[in-house]
C-alpha cells in the first residue's frame, strides 16, 4: 500500500496525525503530488494547524491548472483556514476565486457571505446568502446571519422574518429568541420583545445573551437600574464577552459613575468589542477626570492603526474630531455624507450631535451643549448610544 493510500485511509478513519506522517512521506517521494498536498492540508485543518494547512493548499493552487476543480477546492479550503485565523480579507479573496472557478459552489457563497458579515458588508452578505439559498436551501445559522444583517440595515421586518425561520428550525434556541426580542425592542414592540424573552429564559436561564437582550429592553423602557442588573449578570455569565461590559459601562457613564464606567468600557475594548463606542466614551471619561493627554494618545494610536478604507470611514472621523483634528462644522457635515449606506446616516447624525455637545459641555458651554444634545434627540434614533447619553446629559443639566 502506498503512503498516499495509507494517508487517505487514515484521513477517512479520523486519524489525522498518522495521515500527516503518511502524506508527508508521499510528498517527499513526489514533491509535485498535488493530491497529497490537498489531503495533508485537510488533515492539518482538522488538527487546527491553519497556517500549515494554508501552506499546503497554496501548493495545490500552484500545481493545479488555473480552472481545475481541485484548484477551486484548494482556494475554498484555504479561505476556511484564513477565516479561522480572522484574516477575513484574505479569506474573501479565496472564496471569490473558488466561485470564479465554479459559479455553482454553494458552500463558497455561504462562507463568503459569512465573511462579508464579519467585515460588516451587510449588503454583500445578503447577496451571497441569497445565492446560497437558491443553490442549496436554507439552514438556521445562515438565516441567523441574514437576520443580523437586516437588523444592522434597520430593516426590522426583514430581520424578524429571518429569525422566525431560525426559530422554526430550532424551536428551543434561547439565542434566537433573545435576538428576535432585541429586534422587536429596537422597532418598539416592547410587549413582543418581553414575550420572546420569557421563552429565551425558559430555554437558557444562564445564557448571557438573554440577559443582555432583557437589559436592552429595560433600558429602552427607562428602567436603568433593572438594565444595569441584567448587564452585570451577563458579565458574570460570560466574562470573556464584550457586550455586557459595553452596555453596563454605557449606563454607568449616563449616571455619572465614571470610575466603574471606565473600568467596564476598558474591559469591552480588551475583549475585542466589535463596536468603537467604548473607545470614544473612554476618551470622554478621561477628559473629564483630568487625563485628556492619555485619552488623546490612545485615540491617536487607534487612528494610526486603521488601514485602507477604514481610515476614511465615520469612526475615524469621530476620532479626528475628538482629538481636535477635525472642525465641528466639518464633522457634522460629514455625518450626512460619509457613508455608502443610507440607513447609517441617522446613526451618524446622532453621533455627531452627541459628541459635539459633549465637547461644548467639557469646554463649559452648557447652552451650546443643550442645543446640540436636543438636535441629537431630534434625529430620532433611540437605539443609538449617543441618543441615550444625550438624553441623560439633558436631564442632568436641567437639574442644575
Would the CA dihedral through 110, 112, 118, 120 be positive or negative? negative
The count of structural domains within the chain is: 1
On whether residue 171 sits in a domain, the answer given is no
pLDDT(15) > 80: no
In a domain, 329, yes or no: yes
**Percent of the chain at pLDDT above 90?**
81
Closest CA to 369 of 382, 388, 380, 356: 356
Task: Give the mean model confidence (pLDDT) for residues 225-239.
Answer: 97
User: Per-residue pLDDT for 16 more than 80?
Assistant: no
Residue 395 resides in a domain: yes
Using only C-alpha atoms, the chain has a radius of gyration, in whole angstroms, of 25
**Has residue 268 been placed in a domain?**
no
Lowest-pLDDT range of 24-28, 32-36, 153-157, 285-289: 24-28
Checking 364-372 for CB contacts under 8 A at 24+ apart, the result is 366/397, 369/393, 369/397, 370/394, 370/397
340-363: average pLDDT: 93
Whether 382 maps to a domain, the answer reads: yes
- pLDDT above 70 covers a percentage of the chain that reads 96
Q: 319 lies in which domain range?
A: 310-400
What CATH number should be reported for the domain holding residue 388?
1.25.40
Supply the pLDDT for residue 20.
82
Q: What is the pLDDT of residue 301?
A: 95
Look at residue 363 and tell me if it is in a domain. Answer: yes
Query: What is the pLDDT, as a whole number, of residue 71?
Result: 87
Identify which of 154, 135, 122, 158 has the alpha carbon closest to the alpha carbon of residue 380.
154
The x, y and z cell numbers of residue 255, run together, are 449616571
Separation between Cα atoms, residue 353 and residue 370, nearest integer Å: 10
The answer to the question of residue 255 being in a domain is no
pLDDT in tens, 267-283: 999 999 999 999 999 99
| CB contact at 8 A, 338 and 315 | no
Average pLDDT over the chain, rounded to whole?
93
pLDDT at 4: 59
* pLDDT score of 372: 98
Nearest one of 164, 156, 108 to 131, comparing CA atoms? 108
Q: Quick check: 8 pLDDT over 60?
A: no
Q: How many CB atoms lie within 10 A of CB 34?
A: 21
- The most distant pair of C-alpha atoms in the chain lies apart, rounded to whole Å, by 86
In a domain, 27, yes or no: no
Q: What is the pTM of this model?
A: 0.90
Residue-level pLDDT at 292: 95
The predicted-structure confidence for 103-157, as pLDDT tens digits, reads as follows 999 999 999 999 999 999 999 999 999 999 999 999 999 999 999 999 999 999 9
Q: Which residue has the higher pLDDT, 345 or 4?
A: 345
Answer yes or no: is pLDDT of 62 > 70.
yes
Q: Cell for 344? A: 447609517
Please report the pLDDT score of residue 189 as a whole number. 97
Q: How far apart are CA 381 and CA 12, in angstroms?
A: 54
Residue 1's pLDDT band (cuts 50, 70, 90): very low
* pLDDT higher than 80, residue 27: no
Q: At 384, list the grid cell.
A: 443609538
**H helix intervals, 170-223:** 174-186, 190-203, 208-220
- Give residue 310's pLDDT band: very low, low, confident or very high (50, 70, 90): confident
Amino acid at each position: 500500500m502506498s503512503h498516499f493510500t495509507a494517508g487517505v485511509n487514515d484521513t477517512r478513519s479520523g486519524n489525522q496525525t498518522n495521515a500527516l506522517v503518511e502524506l508527508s512521506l508521499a510528498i517527499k517521494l513526489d514533491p509535485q503530488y498535488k493530491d497529497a498536498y490537498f489531503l495533508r492540508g485537510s488533515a492539518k485543518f482538522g488538527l487546527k494547524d491553519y497556517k500549515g494547512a494554508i501552506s499546503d493548499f497554496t501548493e495545490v493552487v500552484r500545481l493545479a491548472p488555473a480552472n481545475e476543480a481541485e484548484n477551486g477546492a484548494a482556494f475554498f479550503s484555504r479561505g476556511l483556514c484564513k477565516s479561522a485565523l480572522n484574516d477575513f480579507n484574505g479569506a474573501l479573496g479565496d472564496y471569490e476565486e473558488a466561485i470564479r472557478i465554479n459559479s455553482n459552489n454553494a458552500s463558497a457563497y455561504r462562507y463568503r457571505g459569512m465573511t462579508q458579515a464579519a467585515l460588516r458588508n451587510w449588503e454583500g452578505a445578503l447577496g451571497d446568502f441569497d445565492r446560497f439559498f437558491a443553490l442549496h436551501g436554507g439552514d438556521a445559522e445562515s438565516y441567523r446571519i441574514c437576520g443580523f444583517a437586516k437588523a444592522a440595515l434597520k430593516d426590522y421586518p426583514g430581520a424578524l422574518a429571518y429569525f422566525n425561520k431560525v426559530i422554526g428550525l430550532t424551536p428551543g434556541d434561547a439565542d434566537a429568541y433573545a435576538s428576535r426580542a432585541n429586534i422587536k425592542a429596537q422597532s418598539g414592540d416592547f410587549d413582543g420583545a418581553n414575550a420572546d424573552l420569557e421563552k429565551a429564559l425558559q430555554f437558557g436561564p444562564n445564557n448571557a445573551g438573554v440577559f443582555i437582550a432583557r437589559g436592552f429592553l429595560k433600558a429602552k423602557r427607562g428602567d436603568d437600574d433593572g438594565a444595569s442588573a441584567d448587564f452585570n449578570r451577563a458579565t458574570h455569565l460570560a466574562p470573556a464577552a464584550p457586550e455586557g461590559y459595553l452596555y453596563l459601562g454605557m449606563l454607568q457613564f449616563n449616571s455619572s459613575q465614571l470610575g466603574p464606567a471606565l473600568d467596564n468600557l476598558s474591559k469591552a475594548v480588551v475583549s475585542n468589542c466589535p463596536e468603537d463606542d467604548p473607545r470614544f466614551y473612554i476618551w470622554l471619561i478621561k477628559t473629564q477626570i483630568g487625563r485628556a493627554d492619555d485619552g488623546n494618545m490612545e485615540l491617536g494610536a487607534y487612528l494610526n492603526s486603521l488601514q485602507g478604507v477604514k481610515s476614511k470611514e465615520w469612526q475615524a472621523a469621530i476620532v479626528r474630531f475628538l482629538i481636535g483634528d477635525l472642525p465641528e462644522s466639518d464633522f457634522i457635515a460629514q455625518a450626512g455624507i460619509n457613508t455608502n449606506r443610507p440607513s447609517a446616516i441617522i446613526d451618524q447624525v446622532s453621533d455627531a450631535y452627541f459628541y459635539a455637545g459633549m465637547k461644548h459641555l467639557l469646554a463649559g458651554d452648557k447652552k451650546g451643549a443643550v442645543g446640540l444634545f436636543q438636535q441629537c434627540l431630534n434625529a430620532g434614533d433611540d437605539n443609538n448610544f449617543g441618543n441615550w447619553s444625550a438624553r441623560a446629559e439633558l436631564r442632568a443639566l436641567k437639574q442644575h
